[in-house]
Each structure stands twice: as C-alpha cells, then as structure tokens.
Structure 1
Amino acid sequence: MKIIVRGAALALLTSVALPASAAECIAPANPGGGWDFTCRQIGRIMTELELVPNMVQVTNLAGAGGGVAYAQVVSKRSDDPELFVAASSATTTRLAQDAFAGATADQVRWVGSIGGDPGVIVVAKDSPIQGLNDLVEAVKADPGSVAFAGGSAVGGFDHLKVLMLLGDAGVEDMRKIKYIGMDGGADAITQTVGGFAQAMTGDMSEITGFIRSGDVRPIAVLSEERVAGFDDVPTAKEQGVDTVAMNWRGIYVPKDISDEDYQRWVDHLTAVGQSEQWQTVMAENGLEPYLVTGAEFQSFVDENIAEIQELSREIGLLK
C-alpha cells in the first residue's frame, strides 16, 4: 500500500493577559513533539520576518490527540484573530474518524501546509532490533512482545502508519498489534528509550534531535527516497516493505475571524514557507517542501479526510 497523507496544558491565561496585538500559537501536545516544533519554528520565523509585532506566544495544550485544543478553539476562541493552531495529518485523521466528539473540519478555517514530514520508525540505541525485517519478524513470531509508541492517540496517524507498514509486510491480524498512544512525539520517545515500547513511530522532524544525540536508532524512513541529511537511514521500500507515509505540517485558525484576518494568516504562512529561514529548518529536520495555502489547502483537507476515512474502513477502524 502507498499513501501520502499531505499532505506532533493551557493555563487559560487568566492571570497573565497577552498584549492585544500578540499572536499566539497553540501546540496541541506536550513540548518536544511535532506540533510544538511547528508552532515554535513558524512563530520564530514570523517574528524574524517582522510579520508580527511581538514574539509569538506558544501554548502547549495536550489531550485527546489534539481534541482538547480543537474543542477550546471552537467553543471559546472562535473569533480570536490573533490565534493560530499547529496541525498535521494527525489532526485530519482524528477528524476523519470522528474522534473529536462530533467535531468536524468545517468548524475552523484551514490556512495551509508548510512542509511534508516523512514517517520514521526508531528503536532504542541498545535494541537488539537492527533493521525493519528484524522488527517485522518479531511481530510475526509474537505480536504481544512488540509494542509501538506514537505521538498520536489510538487510531491516529502514527497508529495508522504502523498498521499500514505491518500490513504491507504481511501481518494479517491487525487487532494483535500493540500501540501506545501518547501526547506528542517526545513522550513516545521516552516510552521507547525507557523500554516500555520496543519501537516508536513518528515523523522525522520530531525525532531528529534524538537521532543526533544517539538516544534512538532509526531503522526505516517511510518516504520514496532517503531523506537528505539522513542518508544512512534506509527507506522501508529498500527493505522490502512498500510503504510510504508523509505527514503534512501546517496551521488552522478560528472559524469566525474576518476574511481579512484569515488572508493575513495565509499571507504570513506563505512568507514563512518561502523564506530562507524555513529552507534551513527543512534541511536540518528532514522535511520536504509542501507549501499549499488558502482555498487550495481547504480543498486538500477535504480530500485528505475522505482518503483517511477510506483507509480507516479498510483496516476496521471505521464502519
């Protein structure tokens, strides 16, 4: 199977109010994951390009695989013109599977995608698993002995990547696959390094620091070709498993802001995506260019959700 889905606790700010003109980005996970990465990098570059008057405030609001943040934006901040929220394939996956308690994609406005983040499988540095085939054989021999940790909830995109990968590798009973859903990639890495999970499924951008520090060892990247800067990491395809999974990274904003404010965020994200700073970020973190904004991105989100629903039905996550 090949699928490219393009296409990582709020204090409620009651005691410390932000200046009226200060932009805020909500990362729907704990610090260290892909959504946190998206907020901090986009916010930093917006400030450097002087697109916003003050430093962008980053607020981590973990819970329900992004559902807590989504609900807060929809119910309490639907007309906040200075708020944007990090999103990815994990976001549309949860919406496609009706995992946000009835929330739908049309309750926010989708601004754009700024990059593609290849999926990756890593193990602890001292793991006896040396390559993807070792991992697959261990699962086939005893599915209960191998737990996968991921930065999205059960049924989320990190979980889907594991199911797609193992399905393509010949594993038949997906119900036996053990998956531990965490609130962000950093937490999933902790589970793997600590031995609570035998492998971690995530995206290249949220794992690069752990790879470079030697805490984990990548055994497969789920891209068509090896990722620049990580040329020693083989693709799953090279190892006989024809799986490609790409996570888009971008942002959405509250639904009830004005068209002018929405266009402002589209223009800001476009400027960031075209900047030299963002080209450097992509090169350093294994990202691929994928800049799609405005109406084109809205159409993409609709198609993305339909694709994920079809896949989820195929593997039994949706009826």
Structure 2
Amino acid sequence: MQLFAISLRRVFAAASVVLASAACATPSPEFECIAGAQPGGGFDRTCKLLRTAFADDPSLNRHFRIRHMPGGIGAVAWHTVTSQRRAEPNTLVAFSTGSVLNIVLGRFGKGTVNDVRWIATVGADHGAVAVRADAPYADLPSLLAHLKAKPSSVIFGGGGRLGSQDWMKSALVARAAGVPHKAMRYVAFEGGGESLTALISGHIHVYAGDASEIAPFVKSGEVRLLTVLAAARLPGVLSNVPTPRELGVSIEEWTTVRGVYAGPDVPPADVERLTRIFERISRSESFVKARDDLGMTPFNLRGEALTTYVKKDAQRLKKLASDFGLGSP
C-alpha cells in the first residue's frame, strides 16, 4: 500500500510537470482579423498583410486567423464588434477611408468615429481606374472621350452603393469626361473582390477601385490599369501606370488609408500593447516588402494620432459627400 501511495505521488508529480510544460508551450491567444467583405478586396488584403507580418515576428508566437464577414461593406463587422465583441483585445477589424465615409453617411447605423478604438494603419492605397485587358480603351483619355460621346454605353462598378468610396471615384472619372454623376451608370457590389470578378467577366466596363486590389490582376494580364489617382507614380509593380496629371486630365487624387480598429471596451493597456506591436512590425522587412508588392505606400499612424486623423478625415468626407448632394456638412 505504501509503495502504491509512493507510485501514485510520483504519477501526480510527473503529471504536474507535464501540465506545467504544456501550459508554457500553449500558444498565446490567437489574433483574429475581420475582413468585412468577400475575399479579394481591400479588407482581405489588409488582413493578409498583417498575417504575413505577424508570422515573421518571433515575439508573436500566436495564431493569426482571418474571418470574412461580408455585409454592408463593413457594416456587419462594425456592429459585431461594437455590440457583441466590445472588449476583445486581439480581435481586429480591417477598415479603410471608405469605412469612415460609410460612418459619416450613417450606413453603419447611429455609429460615429468615436465608437471604436482606432489601433493602427498599415499603409496608404490609391484610387485606380481599371478596365478589362481586351477593352477598347487604350488609355484614360480614350475612355473619357468614349464616355463623353456615349455616357450610357459605359457601365461602372464598385464596392458599395450610391455615395460609397468606389462610387465617388467613379463619379470623379465621369465628371472629368463632362458627364454628371446622375447620368453615370453604376452597379454596386459587395466589395472589390466581386467588382473585379464582374469586370473580368464583362458585366461591367470600368472599375474605379484601389491599386492594391487591382495590382494582382494587372500581373496576371486580366486587367489593364489606365491611371492611379495619386500625386506621383507608385513604386514597384505599378510604376509604369501614369497619373491623371501626366495625361493632362483633371481628376482629384484619392488616397485610401488602410488599417485596423478594435472594440470600444478594449482596455487602454491593451490598446497600448497593440500600438507597440504595430510600431515594431511596420519596420520589419517582410512587412515593407509585402506592402510594396501590393502597390501601397507608407502611412504609419497609431493610437491617438490615428484617432485624431480619422476624426479630421470624417469632416473632409462629410463635405465631399455634400458636394455630390449626399448630405450636408
């Protein structure tokens, strides 16, 4: 009996060591990045960019999961985090300038930019005008000439309905051709991924989206990029694509900031921890290369600085919406 008791104690002791070792080896809680649209669009690419950076950081021994949550171009993801997952520090939601525009237009319900924790940006994207590779438009001026002559023959498409970011970029292109935005034919889709599928399949003729969404399809030869709505040509794979200014066309620049936010009840200490993580990974070689390969440019804001930027940008977008008759500043 005594020998049995000793053996039992040894078993418990050994089990304790195994459990303690297992506890030490257990990965930290996983990160989840929510992309508020179907795969293939800007939200998806933001999450994939972060997954690459987190995987190459030895201090982040954590799983990184991407969850696609389409609906309202980010509205479902917004409501999920602001109502059900308010205090989850490792749940991040991809956002863009278009998300801020949707908030301003009331498309996320009664939400305001004060209702979440703005964590960090991953870079700046730029508006881009794309057509199918076999389209009859050799360049932007030829598209505008055709649009001016026969406005109803050109179908634009983009992520989101009237007043969305892609709609506004389309309206700017139409305006450059002398076509009022009310005369523009536009088809709304659930994000950039669906829009590009529609473009390649011939259901629409023009997609005024973002460079990072379109770049892979330029590489594959399925899409022709006519212009990037930036002050200067982008580096990397899109360096041969001209700006409107180079082509003698007057279209406003369109910069799309991409990043992530978290729930409103995430503790300040966790927000600070996340901003330190993003500060570190933004300098890593893998992150910089992945960002450049997507056709994005550096844009690094975190925490309070990002919150201040978002609030200011919300006012700018509110005025732009008013200019198109979509609201009042």
**2:239 corresponds to which residue?**
231
| 8 Å contact from structure 1 (residues 27, 39) kept in 2 | yes
**2:75 corresponds to which residue?**
67
Aligned equivalents of 2:59, 2:51: Cα separation in 1? 10
| 8 Å contact from structure 2 (residues 163, 326) kept in 1 | yes
Shift of 1:172: 4.8
Gaps of 5+ in 2: 1-26
Aligned equivalents of 2:96, 2:130: Cα separation in 1? 20
Please give the residue correspondences for 1:102-113 in structure 2 after superposition, counting only pairs within 5 Å. 102-113=110-121
Aligned equivalents of 1:205, 1:51: Cα separation in 2? 28
TM-score (ref. length: structure 2): 0.87
Provide, for residues 277-301 of structure 1, a one-character-per-residue CA deviation record: whole Å limited to 9, x for no partner. Answer: 1210122121111101111110000
Shift of 1:147: 1.3
**1:249 corresponds to which residue?**
258
Aligned equivalents of 2:186, 2:275: Cα separation in 1? 36
**2:299 corresponds to which residue?**
290
| 8 Å contact from structure 1 (residues 119, 245) kept in 2 | yes
Shift of 1:164: 2.4
Single out whichever of 150-159 and 70-79 deviates more from structure 2.
150-159
The counterpart of 1:208, out of the listed 202, 215, 219, is 215
1:30 matched to 2:30? The reply is: no
Aligned equivalents of 1:123, 1:249: Cα separation in 2? 24
Aligned equivalents of 1:151, 1:281: Cα separation in 2? 24
Aligned equivalents of 1:20, 1:55: Cα separation in 2? 8
Gaps of 5+ in 1: 1-18
Residue aligned with 2:216, SS: helix
| 8 Å contact from structure 1 (residues 112, 269) kept in 2 | yes
Please give the residue correspondences for 1:7-26 in structure 2 after superposition, counting only pairs within 5 Å. 21-26=29-34
Amino acid at match of 1:41: L
1:258 matched to 2:256? The reply is: no
- The CA RMSD measured in Å over matched residues stands at 1.5
Aligned equivalents of 2:85, 2:292: Cα separation in 1? 35
| 8 Å contact from structure 1 (residues 78, 254) kept in 2 | yes
Aligned equivalents of 2:322, 2:167: Cα separation in 1? 14
Single out whichever of 158-167 and 274-283 deviates more from structure 2.
158-167
**1:314 corresponds to which residue?**
323
| 8 Å contact from structure 2 (residues 46, 122) kept in 1 | no
Shift of 1:76: 0.7
Aligned equivalents of 2:161, 2:73: Cα separation in 1? 5
Aligned equivalents of 2:81, 2:132: Cα separation in 1? 37
**2:185 corresponds to which residue?**
178
Shift of 1:139: 2.1
**1:16 corresponds to which residue?**
none
Single out whichever of 129-138 and 146-155 deviates more from structure 2.
146-155
**1:117 corresponds to which residue?**
125
Single out whichever of 146-155 and 240-249 deviates more from structure 2.
146-155
| 8 Å contact from structure 1 (residues 165, 241) kept in 2 | no
Answer 1 or 2: higher relative contact order, Cα 8 Å, separation at least 6: 1
| 8 Å contact from structure 2 (residues 52, 286) kept in 1 | no
Provide, for residues 233-278 of structure 1, a one-character-per-residue CA deviation record: whole Å limited to 9, x for no partner. Answer: 1111112223211111111000101001111111122222111112
1:132 matched to 2:140? The reply is: yes
Provide, for residues 56-102 of structure 1, a one-character-per-residue CA deviation record: whole Å limited to 9, x for no partner. Answer: 11000011111111011111111112200111111101011111122
| Identity rate, percent | 30
Amino acid at match of 1:82: N
Residue aligned with 1:23, SS: strand
Count how many residue pairs are aligned between Structure 1 and Structure 2.
Answer: 300
**2:93 corresponds to which residue?**
85
**2:3 corresponds to which residue?**
none
**1:195 corresponds to which residue?**
202
Aligned equivalents of 1:265, 1:148: Cα separation in 2? 39
1:220 matched to 2:209? The reply is: no
